[in-house]
Structure 1
Amino acid sequence: MNGMMLQGFSWYLPPDGQHWRRMAERASDLAARGFTAVWLPPAYKGQAGTADVGYGAYDLWDLGEFDQKGAVRTKYGTRDEYMDAVRSLQGAGIQVLADIVLNHKMGGDELEQIEAVEVDSHNRTQEIADTGVISTWSRFTFPGRKGKLDRFTWDASCFTGCDWNEAEQRPGIWRFGGKTWADDVDLSENGNFDYLMGMDVDLSDERVYAQLATWGRWYLRTTGVNGLRLDALKHMSRSFYQRWLADMRASVDHELFVVGEYWTRDLAALQDYIGDEESLSLFDVPLHFNFFHMGEDPEGADFSRLFDGTLVATDPIRAVTFVENHDTQPDQALESTVQHCLKPAAYALILLREAGYPCVFFADLYGLPNDGIPAVAELPLLMEIRERCAFGEQRDRFDEPDVVGWTREGSEEGPGCAVLVSRRDGAVKRMEVGGGHAGERWVCVLGEEGLVEIDGDGFADFPAAGALLSVYLPEKAAEALSNIPIIVRSDRA
């Protein structure tokens, strides 16, 4: 089986409270498309209530059950609807990953007066003012929950810093008195990148740790999710997550798949973070940026180096590959949107190869019609080819800057495929698919129309013609596809 994950949301979903219901209704279809896991958005109440995507975490215990921040439901629905979505997906044979946001809290209920020192936003180790008293929203009492489920009150002692001084009505970054930034975070940016946003949680505080561990065990037990996606790893104490994950794994009787978001193009930083932790995967951010930069100069891009400096090339088992996510969308803080015309090729490069665990982005699969964001038309066909055909030994021909290719020989699980990514008119690449295919006819199901015959040694000359992406399958396999294998042209930019 070829595993495949769906990021089951995007930033710009409508805030209508229907997303959990829609995901439950899609469960059978997602399973039929070959998805083995779905990463759902943060399920707890955010500071912006029904408009919060989930990363402005307010109350981790409120999954859409209590009247807080203007409503009972979250952007996506109620607690019962969330639980139904989880159960429906699992019932269809799909694992569910929960999005975990423990770095910060936002939307405090009460002001506190706190001794703090302002630091330089570009170098958080540099103080730019004398220590003084600020006023900020650091006390979280969760009045709408009234102590149900948990009675812990968060106050200034639970945090290391903030980005708002209510008394002066201005933003900035302040480190609280008696607190220090964690030293096992990303130190390559801003002097120390512990602080990200909101009220920065002091992960070294034992009361805080106990609270987050208690909550984590409750969440896993209550929801029954199969795995976790960890937000903002580069801003969080590495030792905290090592301890917390060990406790979480000890609290469940099943394997807990965990993938982290460490947003950097620096492969060495990813390799250092992942270390010898065999049970932790990371998103392959460098690969995403290779796709992004391919669009900056599509006529001059060196396709033969697309996997240079990537996690999937060095640690294929623990690399979760992706083309786009909610943070890379237009107008987001990490905006690095891959050109739409290049996305079919990018998806082929993560879906039809043997290395990595590919993650498909919700907006690329379904589009966002209200925002004028189209779906990637070729994506359903590429996913079906992954599920049915992309098996067996892989042979790479990444030997020219303007046309690259690879083949999958096939196995008992599927018959194999041949793929070309090209920016050269009239390109042809001779590739081997294996002697077991000698005499077969292979048809181009994606790209320019074409038919090739495999010679007695298992080779053929595969033309790319004028298409950026060309995918060939054995003729019988092509005829069996349910996504109509009409020639879907993927033109160059």
Structure 2
Amino acid sequence: MAARTLLQFFHWYYPEGGKLWAEVAQKAQGLAQMGVTDVWLPPAYKGASGGSSVGYDTYDLFDLGEFDQKGAVATKYGDRAGLEAATKALSGAGLRVIHDVVFNHKMGADEKERVAVHRVNPEDRTQIEEDAFEADAYTKFTFPGRAGQHSQFIWDVKCFAGVDCIENPDEQGVFRLVNEYGDGEWNEEVDDELGNFDYLMGADVEFRNKAVYEELKYWGRWLAEQLPVQGFRLDAAKHIPAWFFRDWVGHMRETVDSELFVVAEYWKPDMEALRQYLDLVDKQLMLFDVALLHHFHEASRAGADYDLRTIFDGTLVAEEPDHAVTVVGNHDTQPLQALEAPVESWFQPLAYALVLLRTGGVPCVFYPDLYGAQYSDAGGDGGEYQITIEPVPCLPKLIEARQRFAHGEQTDIFDEACSIAFIRHGTAEHPGCVVLLSNGDEAGKVVELGPDHAGAAFRDFLGHCEEEIHADEEGRVTLRVNGGSVSVWVRSDAL
């Protein structure tokens, strides 16, 4: 089985107009040939903003671009037929389909209800005012356009724990809905940011309601009957009780596929918090390596002042490699987004080499880094910005190199602050490689490969260094890397 390589096939500013599903279908075969094994699709169901929704303002999980709701039949990415064709093309190319799941909240309710609420201190969600009062809130979802097809479940105030907007009186803030669950407290087993991070936005789903819990399990089984499903990316995990995902993922593995790939968005660099979360979910899933992404961002800004020997310190892939999904960017960290932490273009090839060619972790490639992107939006300062993201020039070759050469045991040569290297020693069946990186000047390394490589010739698979270099009779070879660059040295006879 090929080493798992995940591609996030969208970004926040992907153009509207229903083009994405068609592009997925068109590119599926080429991605498989390149070395991608898994494709993470954006939320496929109807959002509150209809045909312009990126998908994280969940309205109707059962509307996959099939019903006239929120002003459109198709989603931003296309209609249900296009989605079916895209996932069929991925499966036909031997690629696994990973679905994005947004369970935390619902938005765009169809009706208001008269509810009772407590005001909450938004800076400390554990401070909930004792006295409740009545107000109108958008908490009823009847999905009139779908008219009961696929599911007849109606969401109402009993299905939610909180809202951020009420009417009569008109207020915005954080409000704890009065319901029969949790004795007026928020869910436990959520992140402790702001005291309790249960509430994020919209109508906050109440997972302690058994009917809600069963409906979300039903939806997972239903989705797998409609489309290929080999995995899930779980949105907003910091805000959802860990026990829910522990049970939900377990149920999906029992009923859908015991080998499901699951990665949760628990966006935090703190290893202690991540370890606690993994324990709470019985280590059934993977998490994004936020600390490593932050290191890439910092290294790309600091240039030769960054000590490359420390790049993996305190990272998930170093400490829990079986539970790490490594990223160089995603839809939340791209320029003009909330968690903006872009990796400068010169360092992107180094970062991708560090996630694609080493042992441990599952690397995730970001769509604009493979195909480029252009968009405009307002920045935090209110100014309008035009953004162009160029494709990372050697990224297809690095993805190919992962499948062809990233084999066998690993030896690190982290001996200099501005230049590091690592050896993948290969196996009896598959060749290895030697990867050199520099964030300063041109550098060289004397690499001891052993008598099996006596007299062997080596070339840089990326073509950044053009010469052929020969090992001596003891299998010792001096390899080099250009300044601010990466080279992947492989035996010439493996090419």
Q: What band does the TM-score fall into relative to the shorter chain? A: over 0.9
Q: What residue in structure 2 maps to residue 318 of structure 1?
A: 323
Contact 1:437 1:454 in 2 (8 A): yes
Of 262, 271, 276, the residue aligned with 2:275 is 271
Aligned length, in residue pairs: 477
Aligned ranges for residues 195-214 of structure 1 at < 5 Å?
195-214=199-218
User: What CA deviation, in whole Å up to 9, does each residue of 1:82-138 have, x standing for no partner?
Assistant: 111111101111111111111110111111222112222221112369532232211
Distance 1:452 1:434 in 2: 16
Contact 2:230 2:257 in 1 (8 A): no
Q: Which amino acid aligns with 2:83?
A: Y
Q: Which amino acid aligns with 1:468?
A: S
Distance 1:308 1:297 in 2: 17
Q: What residue in structure 2 maps to residue 281 of structure 1?
A: 286
Q: What residue in structure 2 maps to residue 438 of structure 1?
A: 454
Q: TM-score, normalised by structure 1?
A: 0.93
Q: What residue in structure 2 maps to residue 363 of structure 1?
A: 368
Distance 2:185 2:4 in 1: 42
Q: TM-score, normalised by structure 2?
A: 0.92
User: What CA deviation, in whole Å up to 9, does each residue of 1:153-198 have, x standing for no partner?
Assistant: 11111111111124455531111124421111111x1111111111
Q: Which amino acid aligns with 1:312?
A: V
State the shift of 1:399 in Å: 2.4
> Structure 1's 265 and 94: CA in aligned 2 closer, same or farther, altered over 3 A?
same
Aligned ranges for residues 228-307 of structure 1 at < 5 Å?
228-252=232-256, 254-275=258-279, 277-307=282-312
State the shift of 1:457 in Å: 2.8
**Percent of aligned positions with the same letter in both sequences?**
46
Matched, 1:219 2:220: no
Which sits farther off after the overlay, 454-463 or 390-399? 454-463
Contact 2:101 2:232 in 1 (8 A): yes
Q: What residue in structure 2 maps to residue 58 of structure 1?
A: 59
User: What CA deviation, in whole Å up to 9, does each residue of 1:46-70 have, x standing for no partner?
Assistant: 0111111111100001000000011
Aligned ranges for residues 332-347 of structure 1 at < 5 Å?
332-347=337-352
Contact 2:99 2:233 in 1 (8 A): yes
Contact 2:119 2:175 in 1 (8 A): yes
* Matched position secondary structure for 1:341: coil
Matched, 1:174 2:175: yes
Distance 1:326 1:85 in 2: 21
Distance 1:457 1:316 in 2: 33
State the shift of 1:81 in Å: 1.2
Contact 1:203 1:240 in 2 (8 A): yes
5+ residue gaps, structure 2:
376-386
Aligned ranges for residues 382-421 of structure 1 at < 5 Å?
382-421=398-437
State the shift of 1:375 in Å: 0.9
Distance 1:296 1:134 in 2: 49
Distance 1:32 1:169 in 2: 56
Distance 1:374 1:424 in 2: 23
State the shift of 1:278 in Å: 4.6
User: What CA deviation, in whole Å up to 9, does each residue of 1:428-479 have, x standing for no partner?
Assistant: 22223343222112123433444322223322222224243222222233xx
Q: What residue in structure 1 maps to residue 188 of structure 2?
A: 183
User: What CA deviation, in whole Å up to 9, does each residue of 1:192-227 have, x standing for no partner?
Assistant: 111111111000111111211121211122223111
Q: Which amino acid aligns with 2:248?
A: W
Distance 1:46 1:461 in 2: 56
Contact 1:17 1:73 in 2 (8 A): yes
Of 313, 318, 323, the residue aligned with 1:308 is 313
Q: Which amino acid aligns with 1:349?
A: L
Distance 2:454 2:170 in 1: 74
Aligned ranges for residues 93-112 of structure 1 at < 5 Å?
93-112=94-113
Q: What residue in structure 2 maps to residue 119 of structure 1?
A: 120
Query: For the aligned residues, what is the CA RMSD?
Result: 1.8
5+ residue gaps, structure 1:
481-493
Distance 2:412 2:72 in 1: 54
Distance 2:49 2:170 in 1: 19
State the shift of 1:22 in Å: 1.1
Distance 2:339 2:441 in 1: 34
> Structure 1's 308 and 203: CA in aligned 2 closer, same or farther, altered over 3 A?
same
State the shift of 1:255 in Å: 2.2
State the shift of 1:284 in Å: 1.4
Distance 2:417 2:305 in 1: 9
Q: What residue in structure 2 maps to residue 453 of structure 1?
A: 470
> Structure 1's 340 and 166: CA in aligned 2 closer, same or farther, altered over 3 A?
farther
* Matched position secondary structure for 1:112: strand
